[in-house]
């Protein structure tokens, strides 16, 4: 019958169309491009200018931004072109015992350094550290594969001592000849640029920048435009651009929401520990009350403290980094301020008071003493004991 025949043809056609749709959809879905998430500091967007970025936040949060400008967090990385650096570094550092001399000078509005045995002066690109404890100048250089490495200079600036040897500098060239030293060749002579300091491997180089900048382009570490130095707002308030756009009345569909900080106390400390070191990635045998070097890592010590572990067991108590520190401003130097924070818990009926001096205005003088971890460097021990 013609009708049946045409119906069959229609069914056949529909079957083919359905089948083609099956192929098309499955191949399309399976080949949909997607990206794995990246470190927050290596955002896909162009590196924003720090001043512009912070100014955008200042439109609503001016008071915080003003405080933030003086905070070490915002100043933990400085381009070597910054004028204030010349006063700290310009000059000569010499060590007669090691028979080494380094001459820093400001040329073409950028810091340079020379030393014996290397003909050309080396250009310094960045200075790491806010200056609260120290500042270390570095050069960055892309290797033949396009990966960036830091040449961590052998001389740093200290607030109390001026120029001195960088702590931990090997004087063996770091990555290149450090391996030789490990193999027992202790008389390795530094050659060429190694005489300026230690080369840092590409991955470690990126790790350094991740904790000293808000955003970076891993391909452009030598350029000021490739790095947003210092921990600006967007470093911790991830995807703050979405929040800003929302406030400015822009359409934000599809943009990731701003990362919230309504998290547990441990997660909070761990987030700070991303740069200040997390306890869970410190070898357990290193975490002992006697270990002096972990004093440098406040977030490791804090979570060992009885104050912290005790607060974890009580829902009405909470202790994290914000209990005592506002990351938007320089940490207080007042012992009374910190004692007041201690008293918030230790004046409660259900929390034990200090058996020695329950009303003291200097709790940290006994319970959080300053300890020298290396020459010129002292830190407050956050393992409260």
Q: Counting contacts by CB under 8 A, is residue 33 touching other proteins? A: yes
Q: Given candidates 144, 254, 290, 355, which one binds other proteins under the rule CB under 8 A?
A: 144
**Contact between 330 and 71 (Cβ < 8 Å):** yes
| Residues ≥6 apart with Cβ < 8 Å to 229 | 50, 76, 77, 78, 79, 126, 212, 213, 214
Q: Given candidates 81, 110, 239, 373, which one binds other proteins under the rule CB under 8 A?
A: 239
Q: Which is nearer to other proteins, 163 or 270 (CB)?
A: 270
Q: Which is nearer to other proteins, 80 or 234 (CB)?
A: 234
Q: Counting contacts by CB under 8 A, is residue 26 touching other proteins? A: yes
Q: Given candidates 82, 167, 169, 176, which one binds other proteins under the rule CB under 8 A?
A: 176
Q: Which of residues 323-382 bind other proteins (CB under 8 A)?
A: none
The tokens of 345 are what?
A: 């818990």
Q: Given candidates 37, 184, 249, 355, which one binds other proteins under the rule CB under 8 A?
A: 37
At its nearest, how many Å lie between other proteins and the CB of residue 381?
23
Question: How far apart are the C-alpha atoms of 230 and 49, rounded to whole Å?
Answer: 11
Scanning the structure block, which residue is given the tokens 């130095």?
229
**Contact between 132 and 72 (Cβ < 8 Å):** yes
Q: Which of residues 265-284 bind other proteins (CB under 8 A)?
A: 270-271, 273-274, 278, 280-281, 283
Q: Given candidates 49, 66, 109, 189, which one binds other proteins under the rule CB under 8 A?
A: 189
Question: How far apart are the C-alpha atoms of 107 and 81, rounded to whole Å?
Answer: 10
At its nearest, how many Å lie between other proteins and the CB of residue 195?
10
Q: Counting contacts by CB under 8 A, is residue 232 touching other proteins? A: no
301-307-312 Cα angle (round to 5): 100
356-362-363 Cα angle (round to 5): 55
Helix axes 240-247, 50-68, angle to 10 degrees: 90
Question: How far apart are the C-alpha atoms of 66 and 54, rounded to whole Å?
Answer: 10
> What does the binding site for other proteins look like in residue numbers (CB under 8 A)?
12, 15-16, 18-20, 22-23, 26-27, 29-41, 43, 120, 141, 143-145, 147, 149, 175-177, 180, 185, 188-189, 191-194, 199, 201-203, 207, 210, 238-239, 256, 259, 270-271, 273-274, 278, 280-281, 283
């Amino acid at each position: 019958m013609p009708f049946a025949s045409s119906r069959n043809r229609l069914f056949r056609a529909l079957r083919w169309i359905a089948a083609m749709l099956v192929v098309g959809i499955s191949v399309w879905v399976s080949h949909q491009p997607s990206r794995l998430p990246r470190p927050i500091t290596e955002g896909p967007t162009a590196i924003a200018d720090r001043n512009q970025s912070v100014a955008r936040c200042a439109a609503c949060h001016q008071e915080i931004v003003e405080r933030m400008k003086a905070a070490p967090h915002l100043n933990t990385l400085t381009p070597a072109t910054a004028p204030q650096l010349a006063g700290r570094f310009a000059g000569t550092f010499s060590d007669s015992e090691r028979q080494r001399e380094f001459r820093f000078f400001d040329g073409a509005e950028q810091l340079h350094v020379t030393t014996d045995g290397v003909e050309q002066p080396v250009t310094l690109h960045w200075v790491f550290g806010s200056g609260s404890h120290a500042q270390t100048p570095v050069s960055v250089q892309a290797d033949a594969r396009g990966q960036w490495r830091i040449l961590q200079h052998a001389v740093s600036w200290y607030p109390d001592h001026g120029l001195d040897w960088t702590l931990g500098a090997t004087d063996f060239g770091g990555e290149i000849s450090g391996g030789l030293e490990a193999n027992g060749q202790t008389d390795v002579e530094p050659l060429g640029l190694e005489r300026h300091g230690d080369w840092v491997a590409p991955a470690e180089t990126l790790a350094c920048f991740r904790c000293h900048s808000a955003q970076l382009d891993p391909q452009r570490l030598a350029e000021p435009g490739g790095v947003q130095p210092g921990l600006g707002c967007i470093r911790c308030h991830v995807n703050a651009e979405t929040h800003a756009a929302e406030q400015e009345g822009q359409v934000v569909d599809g943009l990731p929401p701003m990362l919230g900080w309504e998290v547990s106390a441990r997660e909070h400390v761990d987030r700070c520990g991303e740069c200040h070191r997390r306890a869970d990635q410190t070898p357990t045998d290193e975490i002992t009350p006697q270990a002096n070097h972990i004093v440098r890592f406040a977030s490791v010590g804090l979570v060992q403290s009885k104050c912290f572990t005790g607060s974890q067991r009580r829902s009405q108590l909470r202790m994290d980094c914000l209990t005592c520190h506002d990351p938007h401003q320089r940490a207080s130097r007042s012992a009374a301020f910190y004692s007041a924070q201690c008293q918030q818990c230790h004046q409660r009926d259900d929390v034990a008071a200090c058996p020695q001096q329950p009303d003291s205005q200097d709790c940290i003088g006994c319970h959080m003493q300053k300890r020298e971890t290396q020459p010129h460097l002292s830190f407050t021990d956050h393992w409260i004991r």
